Amino acid sequence: MAETLGCRLCGQPLTRTFVDLGMSPPCESYLRADQLDEGETFYPLHVRICDSCLLVQLPAYVAADDVFSDYLYFSSYSTSWVEHARRFVADMQERLGLGPDSLVTEAASNDGYLLQHAVALGIPVLGIEPAANIAEVANQKGIRTESYFLGERTGQDAAARHGQADLVVGNNVFAHVPDIVDFAKGLRALVKDDGLVSLEFPHLLRLIERRQYDTIYHEHYQYLTLRTAALALEKAGLKVVDVQELASHGGSLRVFSTPAETAGEPTELVLKVLKDEADAGLHSVEGHDGFAQDVFAIKADLVEFLVGAAREGKSVAGYGAPGKGNTLLNHCGVREDLLPFTVDRSPHKHGMYLPGTHIPIHPPERLAEVRPDYIVILPWNLREEIVHQLGSAREWGARFVVPIPRLEVI
């Protein structure tokens, strides 16, 4: 019998399934043409929930080193995401009075998409980005960035060399760390005793409510509520004091925490979000039931649509090559016969192939050359931005297909 897995937050045995999506390759493991005839490694996407602390989690089937050491996700290719970061930095400058004597440190700082806005305002920065290829891009832009994984030890080392920060940021990284407690301790090491830690991550409440199962992939090690995030931060000496609900990534939380010894009382918004979670049943194990049925409905609808389009002789193409799209396409068994190609704005992905499905990735101009009848939007969280960008596709009669939360043809 297989060894029982332990919860990464409280250590209790994990025996309960949240959803099982079968086997899939790592979602960012894009292939070159010369790799198409080689074997690919598929890992389980079997998500558990802890009966004790309720952390929804995916075992570390793939080590973080294997996922993030050389990475093809560059945040700056999403216009709306860069603007989201700019507004955040402006708000934080005002809220904290940041200036030339301050320090903003970001964990998983990617290509400097956020810290560039602090640099422009004359605020000193430090980026910590585990993917060496991306850290190099940030440094070339003049954004001081070091390459390693954040944990308690590396956080203490960075603080000793650069000083502790007034603001520590972690956007879309808290779900991506297999040792969430060690990472939280790294955040505590980086921040001043009277400083602020800001974390953004997809909200499990929205994932369930909006059926966003394609955001389950091997580099998302946990799926967080405010309650479980607060538990992890608490273990590192950080207390949640405020929260904002965001539209980004299908519904995220921006959680503000401060060192426990200086923390005040949480705001009304913290109490509101906790109540929303409790009302949705997410503060009990049973409240997480039923998600697997929703997942099957999405799969059935998408496959039926694509098979129907093929039977009618309609042409279909994809837009985007995001990690979430690879979870969706592999789970649904969609290959080149139903989706001949997809396009993406990132030149780093052009000429590559999607993992598992081997669907080729072309530049966006390919759409105008082929003029497909249907364009399937894989990064549905950017649907408005993409529909606007592709306004010209309406001229040849193309329609857009959004598979999640339910199949929609627009």
User: What six digits make up the tokens of 223?
Assistant: 């799926």
**Hey, what long-range contacts does 179-183 have (CB within 8 A, 24 or more apart)?**
179/8, 179/151, 180/8, 180/9, 180/221, 180/222, 180/232, 181/8, 181/9, 181/232, 181/235, 181/236, 182/151, 182/152, 183/107, 183/150, 183/151
Q: Is residue 221 within 8 Å of residue 8, measured between CB atoms?
A: yes
Please tell me whether residue 30 adopts helix, strand or coil conformation: coil
Q: First CA to last CA across the chain, in angstroms?
A: 49
CATH 3.40.50.150 is the classification of domain 75-280: yes
The CATH number fitting domain 292-409, selected from 3.40.120.10, 3.40.50.720, 2.40.50.200, 3.30.565.10: 3.40.50.720
- Sequence-distant (≥ 6) Cβ neighbours of residue 331 within 8 angstroms: 21, 22, 24, 45, 213, 214, 295, 299
Following DSSP, what letter does each residue of 369-385 receive, concatenated? Answer: HH--SEEEES-GGGHHH
Q: Where in the chain is the domain with CATH 3.40.50.720?
A: 292-409
Per residue of the chain (410 residues), what is the pLDDT tens digit? Answer: 345 789 999 999 999 999 999 999 999 899 999 999 999 999 999 999 999 999 999 998 887 666 555 555 566 666 788 899 999 999 999 999 999 999 999 999 999 999 999 999 999 999 999 999 999 999 999 999 999 999 999 999 999 999 999 999 999 999 999 999 999 999 999 999 999 999 999 999 999 999 999 999 998 999 999 999 999 999 999 999 999 999 877 799 999 999 999 999 999 999 999 999 999 999 999 999 999 999 999 999 999 999 999 999 999 999 999 999 999 999 999 999 999 999 999 998 999 999 999 999 999 999 999 999 999 999 998 899 999 999 999 999 999 999 999 999 99
Following DSSP, what letter does each residue of 289-330 receive, concatenated? Answer: TTHHHHHHHHHHHHHHHHHHHHHTT--EEEE---HHHHHHHH
